[in-house]
A and B are shown apart, each in its own frame.
Chain A
């Protein structure tokens, strides 16, 4: 299996490693030289520095014998071009495009290109979690990069009765406040969560699911 990741940024580096661990051949194409240097240092993937929507660059990346292409640059128009050039010039059968702006999904649909949307993924995740009754208040800050959640702590949760410092909350997440009956507590490491507490959680979008999982013990984030 050979996979080409076009424009894959830092967040896709773990993906790259996980494909390699399956024994797949992975090629990363990125136009930023610094990012290429980091990728080449941190992974064993073949890294090609160049415009991932250029037919010549894609040819260099070995697109001819690739099985899967993931187009994940920050520009939807570039992702569309990568998928279409891969199909029409190199006969690639499986393409997946990242759609950054949900308003642009229709074009990909119309042209029959499979896509995923970061916003949709996060929205469905939140929706799914909002379906759990314990999660009552949800907001987002900094264009969705930071999630704000209010959890009603349940008695069967693994976090109950433990000082926060021993919970080892995932990096990028924080129990920012605890509301207990009439009391508003800004917690320290020694603060202990009790059933019925409302815990206000602040987390980056990456740490959001691990943080909820850590507190509630359920696997809600792995959808």
Chain B
């Protein structure tokens, strides 16, 4: 699989390293050189210096032949832009966007973009932990 990841922060970097480790072809795009430098030495994919909100960069990353596009920058609008460019301009079969603002998650979904909102995901996980009996609870 060929994956293009926009944003090389903690999330983008982790995804890139993991997808690459599993034998996929990966390109990470970020306009901050220091973010690209933070990729582990084992990372076997490509790094690209560029703005994820710029279609010329999408083209340079060969989004047209990607199987997966992940928008993981820290800017919701850039993530939406990148994901929609991937889906509708470059016909990438799957585009997933990180959304920071829970209020925008529904909007993005209605626009045909798969989303992950770290805030709602973490809250759901915590709630499910709360509803289970805690580990190591000796009071029972």
Q: Is B110 an interface residue (CB 8 A)?
A: yes
How many cross-chain pairs have Cβ atoms below 8 Å apart between A and B?
A: 59
Q: How big is chain A's contact interface, by range? A: 20 to 34
Shortest beta-carbon distance from A58 to chain B in Å: 10
Q: Is the CB of A106 within 8 A of B55?
A: yes
Q: Is A110 an interface residue (CB 8 A)?
A: yes
Q: Is A162 an interface residue (CB 8 A)?
A: no
Q: Is B81 an interface residue (CB 8 A)?
A: yes
Q: Is the CB of B104 within 8 A of A55?
A: yes
Q: How many residues of B contact A (CB 8 A)?
A: 21
Contact with A along B90-114 (1 / 0, CB 8 A): 0000000000010110010011000
Rounded to whole angstroms, the CA-CA distance of A198 and B120 in the bound complex is 67
Contact with A along B39-55 (1 / 0, CB 8 A): 00000000000000111
Q: Which residues in A have their C-beta under 8 angstroms from that of B80? A: 77, 80-81, 84
Q: Which residues in B have their C-beta under 8 angstroms from that of A55? A: 103-104, 107
Q: Which residues in A have their C-beta under 8 angstroms from that of B55? A: 101, 103-104, 106-107
Q: Which residues in B have their C-beta under 8 angstroms from that of A56? A: 103
- Contacts A54-B103, A76-B53, A88-B111; A81 near B76 (Cβ below 8 A): yes
Q: Which residues in A have their C-beta under 8 angstroms from that of B75? A: 77
Question: Which A-chain residue is minimally distant from B101 (CB atoms)?
Answer: A54
Q: Is the CB of A103 within 8 A of B89?
A: no
Rounded to whole angstroms, the CA-CA distance of A56 and B84 in the bound complex is 22
Rounded to whole angstroms, the CA-CA distance of A178 and B93 in the bound complex is 60
23 intermolecular pairs with C-beta atoms under 8 Å apart:
A53-B77, A54-B103, A55-B103, A56-B103, A75-B77, A76-B53, A76-B81, A77-B75, A80-B77, A80-B81, A80-B84, A81-B76, A81-B77, A81-B80, A84-B111, A101-B56, A103-B55, A106-B55, A106-B89, A107-B85, A107-B89, A110-B89, A111-B88
